Amino acid sequence: MILRPAAERGHANHGWLDSWHSFSFADYDDPRHVHFGPLRVINEDRVSAGRGFGTHGHADMEIISYVLEGALEHKDSMGTGSVIRPGDVQRMSAGSGVRHSEFNHSRKDLVHFLQIWIIPDVRGIPPEYEQRSYADADKRGRLRLVASANGAEESLRIHQDARLYAGLFNGKEQSQLALAAERLGYVHVARGALELNGRALRAGDGAMLRGEPIIGLANGQDAEVLVFDLPAAS
């Protein structure tokens, strides 16, 4: 297990955007942290009221947005328009190319969200969009599958042999996830604090796991956590 402390992430504050980068992104270039398997980006973004990212393009990337606070407005060249709130998870497969914008839907409140990029195992497919809501009750004290290659358990379908779980943990709540010998695990604490295999993690911390048979989560303090089960090859 290799810990990725929150304070060691890349950081950019543009006034309207306060962004922390777990992997190399934009002007943050860290050859030690470019990707982990196919996991390429975890950006923790806070966007001021009424501000956001203007229309821009992506290709051949699985992009997942996970809102923690506020509301994120999305529009794209596929004709999709939506507002994403806490509990919602959005997946956009950029494929052969898509243009989109993301703005804080509120004129008074901050939006706080995670943007996740996963390198796909296919290229040049027609772009796709999907969004689902997952109730807190489905994540309370357990890991709820929210994205997978086959859309299992009503999860979002991504074009990569990866599985993304979300969980909420407090007090005595605990959960374990078995990790196959050839697989990688990545844990990101979105907020609060908890223990991962006995190691204390706090909001913004991450951990890279290789050769760990179990991902064990316990002793949460209002914790929200994302867990990735990943192939070793990118």
Is the model's pLDDT at 233 over the cut of 80?
no
Radius of gyration over alpha carbons of the chain, in Å? 17
Is the model's pLDDT at 234 over the cut of 80?
no
Give the span between the Cα atoms of 75 and 97, in whole angstroms. 14
Cβ(97)–Cβ(127) below 8 Å: yes
pLDDT value at residue 53: 87
Q: What is the CATH number of the domain that holds 114?
A: 2.60.120.10
Residue 226's alpha-carbon distances to 66, 155, 188, in angstroms, are 10, 14, 5
Q: Above pLDDT 90, what percent of the chain?
A: 89
Prediction pTM value: 0.96
pLDDT value at residue 222: 98
Cβ(208)–Cβ(36) below 8 Å: yes
Is the model's pLDDT at 112 over the cut of 70?
yes
Give the total number of structural domains in the chain: 1
Each residue's pLDDT tens digit, 88-103: 999 999 999 999 889 8
pLDDT value at residue 52: 85
* Chain CA centroid to CA 131, Å: 14
Q: In which domain, by residue range, is 7 found?
A: 2-231
